């Protein structure tokens, strides 16, 4: 797992959903500072947040952890 790549996909998906870091944080009952740290590749989401995070971002858990989306064509 690469923290930078995971952070980039979190940011990309959040922005595509027109959601602020604060809005994402509120949905996960965490701080926007935690979301900022993920997106900058400083830290990873806690394991207890991974499934809800993937669901909110409409991405598979595998792709979230890998830091890139698979092309399903």
Angle separating helix axes 50-57 and 3-16, nearest 10 degrees:
40
- According to the model, what pLDDT value does residue 13 have? 96
pLDDT tens, 8-61?
A: 999 999 999 999 999 999 999 999 999 999 999 999 999 999 999 999 999 999
DSSP 50: H
44 three-state secondary structure: coil
Say if CB 6 and CB 64 are below 8 A apart. Answer: yes
Domains of the chain: 3-66 (1.10.260.40)
Q: What are phi and psi of 12, to 5 degrees?
A: -60, -45
Is the full-model pTM beyond 0.95?
no
Residue 73: per-residue pLDDT: 41
């Amino acid at each position: 797992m690469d923290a930078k790549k995971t952070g980039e996909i979190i940011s990309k998906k959040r922005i595509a959903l027109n959601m602020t870091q604060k809005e994402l944080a509120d949905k996960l009952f965490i701080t926007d500072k935690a979301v900022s740290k993920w997106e900058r590749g400083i830290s990873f989401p806690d394991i207890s947040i991974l499934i809800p995070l993937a669901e909110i971002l409409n991405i598979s858990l595998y792709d979230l952890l890998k830091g890139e989306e698979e092309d399903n064509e």
